[in-house]
Amino acid sequence: MLLHSEPRVRRLASVAVRGSLRLPSWTPEDTSVHARFQSEQLKMKEQQKAADKQAEDLIKELKRNNTELKMMEEQQKAAEKQAEDLIKELKRNNTELKMMEEQQKAAEKQAEDLIKLQQEITELEQLSHTDDHLHVIQMYSSLYSISHNKNSDVDEKSLKRILTLLKEQLNEKLIQTVDVTLDPDTAHPDLILSDDGKQVSDGGIKQNVPENPKRFDTCVIVLAKQGFSSGRFYYEVQVKGKTEWDLGVARESINRTGEITLSPENGFWTVWLRNENQYKALDNPSVSLSLRVKPEKVGVFVDYEEGLVSFYDVDSRSHIYSFTGQTFTEKLYPYFSPGLNEEVMASSIDPPVFCDFCDERNQKAVKSCLTCQSSYCDDHLEPHLRVPRLKKHTLINAVENLEDYICQKHERPQEMFCRDDQTRVCLFCTEGDHRTHNTVPIEEESREKKLVQTQTDVHQMIQDRMKKIQEIKHSVELRITVDGAYIMNSSISTPEGGAITPNMFIILLITLISHTIGAFQTGYITL
């Protein structure tokens, strides 16, 4: 190795001698600059690593947010699909219900026609021997079928006129006869009855009233004067503006002293309202009712022989609840408890929200802007739906007191909802006290609550429809079983050749009206 390197050394020495070669000197100042340069390079590398780490964290957070967003979208789609399925099921149930109702009508019509035929002979013979047709109507309420006689000289138009006239006269007479009137002898001392016995209210102060064994001494209740021990009757009760009430029917032998538990076992078939929107049927066990519309007038229908007590919303023509399969052995009296006065209800109704930009404050607002702190009607809301800058504002359903939606701590709009604390919060709150809580935009929370409420309503509607279908099935089966057995065990014949004379035909029409109108005895009460 040494031998090979000698020529190279000699060449370098020769060059150094010829060119007087000089190497640059390295000063202390150059050393300091170099050290600072290296230090700056190290800092830049560390900063670059930190920036890369932060970027990676942001990317991970973005991916996590995207994953959560996709999950929420899938959950929303699943919930919407479930709601669609429930609506389809409801439509199917409605179709089945209509079919059942049609079948029930057909079965009832067939049973009634058969009963009419086998009762026709006996009733016509009795009717032909009296001129007091009103008395006959009150004594006999069977519905007859009309035997067609080609030789009859009765004019069809005249019969229709007679039918209409008699129907109107009998309807007026029967309504006046069975009109429901409150019995002051049963009224609790706190109750105030109108002079005509048609209205009752809770005065809250005991009045000086005569002692009476029929009077309720503890529970604020009043019964009607009229009692019913057979047939069917119907009455309506005005409950508009009430926050609580009880109504229904009660048997004659109920307890009237001390505390009373409302139930069929104790002789009460009632429905009540409490706390303005909590409805309940006091069955055994009691049943909470979910009503889509707050009833203003309630109809009560009782079929004594069928053991049926039904409640209806008169205005919306919807069924509320039915007590079925009951056994009545004594008189039933309409039952009332008025509860709170109308003023209490009126004070709890939310006032309407009006547009802040309409000249005349009579245009209702549809949305309120938390950013602008204003409420808008459809016309004035349009810029918020069109202008890009305004589209970023937070809109909510119109509310009266927008200041309640401003964070008192940060003075910012409460655009978020904390599900852990069940309260509205602003964006600054989500970075502070609620940083670890489950917070969502307030619009999302509102949508989910509406979806849950819709699902609840749909489930309740399905349950109501299914229950009504079962009631119709039971009614049809019972009607066919009872009426069919009665008809099969009876013989049908015709009097003297089967011809019905014109006079007997007129009497038959009168009896027809009595059955049609006499089936419903009506009354009206205001709470």
Q: Which residues of the chain have pLDDT under 70?
A: 1-28, 114, 117-179, 340-352, 360-362, 450-466, 468-469, 471-527
Which pLDDT value is given to residue 165?
Answer: 65
- Give the 3-state secondary structure of 218-275: CCCCEEECCCECCCEEEEEEECCCCCCEEEEEEECCCCCCCCCCCCHHHCEEEEEEEC
268-274 and 278-281 as β-strands: parallel, antiparallel, unpaired? antiparallel
- The amino acid occupying position 151 is N
The H-or-E segment that residue 450 falls in is helix 442-488
pLDDT at 273: 92
Distance CA 166, CA 154 (A): 17
d(CA 164, CA 182): 32
Write down the pLDDT at residue 486. 39
β-partners of residue 354 are: 364
The alpha-carbon radius of gyration of the chain (Å, integer) is 42
Please write the tens of the pLDDT for every residue from 132-175. Answer: 444 444 444 444 444 444 444 445 666 666 666 665 555 544 43
The reported pLDDT for the residue numbered 128 is: 53
Q: Which residues are 479's β-sheet partners? A: none
Residue 354: its pLDDT value, please? 85
pLDDT given at position 330: 95
CA dihedral sign of residues 194, 196, 200, 204: positive
